Amino acid sequence: MKALMQFLSAGLLTGSLLLCPAAHAGRSCDAKKTTLQTVERGLALAEKTQAALNASGEKVVLLARAGQDLGKYGVRYSHLGLAWQQPDGQGGTTWRVLHKLNECGTSESAIYRQGLGEFFLDDLWRFEAAWVAPTPEVQARLLVLLQDPARAISLHHKRYSIVSYAWGRKYQQSNQWAIETIAAAMEPQVRTREQAQAWLQFKGYQPAVLTLGPLTRLGGRLTAANVAFDDHPSEKRFSDRIETVTVDSVFDWLPRAQFAAPGKPPVSVRL
């Protein structure tokens, strides 16, 4: 309990809902009991990440966690949020994360603004954080958007599929929302998802291509409300080419588009 109060005073547990009050945040949808050890490790990762972010001198980063084992698809990190430093009201600073979460057991989603504690209290597959710091110009534009609650959630689309088509608009998964929001921050005239995706294509973003066989696709659709493939073009879907937005593909794209320093790998924090 003493350790928890220390985290609360440090501003690591300060989540708030920006959209969709029925969303479940900070835990998985599985009937898996959260243990004290899991909570302690998640908070320890949050504390270590905050210290590293403070020491970095950055103001805005793209922050990732490893919530699922996606190694068989060549994907290291599962979930992306937009993190920024802000005053804590006590003369210091703290970090907040804006990110999108799926409502447990449904095909709908919500946008949350959380402290680092909530962000890492999900059922993590691997206790590791990673971030890429955009260039100062990109950070400045993202910070303006993140400080404007209405604009920050303007491209949110409630219908959710974890494998939503990168260039589709029927669904929107978490990493897709993040990169489309980056487009809105960088180009003020971007007001719709269609415009955001056109901008991303113009800037050379390339989605990840996951190879999912027909049994995997069928099983996912029948057993989970948050998995759908019907937004993917038939010629790609039936040739087992699922193009979706992954953290790794976003991290690869940023330096290629000159939005982050080239040749610099993501910063990683592990327990």
pLDDT tens digit at each of 271 positions of the chain = 444 445 444 566 665 665 443 343 333 455 556 788 888 999 999 999 999 999 999 999 999 999 887 777 788 999 999 999 999 889 899 999 999 999 877 889 999 999 999 999 877 889 999 999 999 999 999 999 999 999 999 999 999 999 999 999 999 999 999 999 999 999 999 999 999 999 999 999 999 998 775 545 444 554 577 888 899 998 887 777 889 999 999 999 999 999 999 999 999 999 9
Instruction: Return the closest-CA partner of residue 122 out of 152, 107, 102.
Output: 102
- Which domain covers residue 193, as residue numbers? 2-270
DSSP labels, 191-252? -SHHHHHHHHHHTT---EEEE--HHHHHHHHHH-TT---TTS-HHHHTTTEEEE--HHHHHH
CA distances from 140 to 22, 133, 196 (A): 32, 12, 19
Quote the pTM value: 0.88
> How many distinct structural domains can be found in the chain?
1
CATH code of residue 20? 3.90.1720.10
